[in-house]
Amino acid sequence: MRLKGKVAIITGGGTGIGKRIGERFLEEGAKVVFSDLSEEVSFVDNLGENAAYISADVSISQDVDNLVNSAIERFERVDIIVNNAGVGALGGTTDVTDEDWKKVIDVNLSGTMYGMRAAAKAMKEKGTQGSIINISSILGGVGFNGAIAYCASKGGVVQLTRAGAIDLAGDKIRVNAIAPGFISTDMTKDVLEQEDFKNLVLSSTPLGRVGDTEDIANSAVYLASDEAKYVTGSIIYVDGGWTAK
């Protein structure tokens, strides 16, 4: 088991990519704290004693601090955090609303920073050589019509990752990011059901398919494991070749 004895926190862990990452971590021997906005998530009750659920709003720094502290109370340490919680909003340069801009930046960018900060403090206090994994996006590296807030937030996550890797290298805490392409989840279901949009995605993806949550979870297992002990500050694109063009 590649993560045996490690404790992980997964934000946005109630559905989609976060849920599958947490499940894979459990399969690899980790103890996992799933976190999301809901007060409770029923599937966690069926995952055994090595799984827990703690509600948190990542856009509120105190919530994230409480999440990390509660995880330590439950499992005594934190070795891994996956800052996965995220939201999207439509809107380009001239029509994005203040409300949508603030929401996307607060959750995707500030929420990631709060998770990095809280986990890094906890790791440093215990001398843990941990792994911080941020979930960015291909849209953190390339532009996309009508998604200016999302692109800005995910580009910020890339730079948070690089700066954090440098900040924390002396403590042997690794910071990396995964940049998914279009992945089949509840968040993308509506747009991928639109024939024109799905055809655009498929024609822009050299491997010719939409990704699935397992594709992202497998990359997260690698970055969380000791196999990646010399990897920090990296952005791993899991996008079927979208950004290779």
Here the CATH number for the domain that contains residue 48 is: 3.40.50.720
Is 87 part of a structural domain of the chain?
Answer: yes
- Cβ pair 74, 52 in contact under 8 A: yes
Is 155 part of a structural domain of the chain?
Answer: yes
Active site residue 150: yes
The catalytically annotated residue of 53, 150, 222, 230 is: 150
Please compute the mean of the pLDDT values over residues 62-80 and round it to a whole number.
Answer: 98
Please compute the mean of the pLDDT values over residues 33-61 and round it to a whole number.
Answer: 95
pTM for the complete prediction?
0.97
Is 202 part of a structural domain of the chain?
Answer: no
- Between CA 78 and CA 45 the distance in angstroms is 21
Is 121 part of a structural domain of the chain?
Answer: yes
Is 203 part of a structural domain of the chain?
Answer: no
Is 22 part of a structural domain of the chain?
Answer: yes
Please return the burial class of 20, using the count of CB atoms within 10 Å of its CB with bins 0-12, 13-18 and 19+: buried
Structural domain harbouring 221: 7-184+212-237
What total of structural domains would you count in the chain? Answer: 1
- pLDDT per residue over 156-205, tens digit each? 999 999 999 999 999 999 999 999 999 998 888 888 889 999 999 999 99
Is 97 part of a structural domain of the chain?
Answer: yes
Is 1 part of a structural domain of the chain?
Answer: no
Helix axes 111-126, 148-168, angle to 10 degrees: 20
Helix axes 61-75, 111-126, angle to 10 degrees: 40
